[in-house]
């Protein structure tokens, strides 16, 4: 009797403490071959291969897109950036010589500085060929700071 009671307690406890996960999406799909329960947004899975294909059993890793909205504010009309979008680099042109010590900074979407240099003339070439395609910010420091969006193709 005692063994039966312990067995019932352990079976009940395992049913109460089943796997749980907070998921972004889930449901059941039915078709001619049967029913499939699925969930998206959990971390970790096991790939199962069979004659009909491959299935990711268990929980899966989400893939997330993050879109940042950036508005062109604080642009000095005396500064020109071209071409934009660019693959190799952009030309930074000033109507008059910027203040001594003025710099340009190229920042990625995370705000990390990926390129910087002191501005030495009215025309500067900013190389972009080694950077991955993305949206960057070009920040110009000095007495009249400006910020531009750069699209690297």
Residue ranges of domains in the chain: 23-63, 79-152
pLDDT tens-digit profile of 103-123?
Answer: 999 998 888 999 999 998 899
Residue 72 clears pLDDT 70, i.e. is over it = no
**Could you report how far apart the first and last alpha carbons of the chain are, in Å?**
74
Q: How far apart are CA 61 and CA 59, in angstroms?
A: 7
CATH class of 79-152: mainly beta
pTM above 0.95, yes or no: no
Strand spans (E) along 41-88:
45-50, 53-58, 79-82
């Amino acid at each position: 009797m005692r063994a039966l009671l312990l067995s019932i307690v352990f079976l009940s406890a395992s049913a109460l403490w089943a796997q749980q996960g907070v998921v972004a999406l889930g449901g059941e799909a039915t078709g001619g071959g049967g029913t499939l329960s699925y969930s998206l947004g959990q971390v970790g899975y096991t790939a199962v291969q069979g004659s009909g294909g491959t299935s990711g059993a268990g929980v899966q890793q989400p893939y997330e897109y993050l879109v940042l909205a950036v508005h062109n504010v604080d642009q000095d009309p005396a500064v020109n950036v071209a071409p934009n979008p660019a693959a190799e680099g952009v030309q930074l042109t000033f109507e008059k010589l910027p203040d001594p010590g003025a710099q340009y900074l190229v920042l990625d979407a995370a705000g990390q500085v990926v390129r910087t240099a002191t501005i030495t003339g009215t025309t500067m070439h900013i190389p972009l060929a080694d950077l991955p395609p993305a949206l960057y910010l070009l920040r110009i420091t000095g007495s009249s700071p400006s910020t531009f969006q750069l699209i690297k193709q």
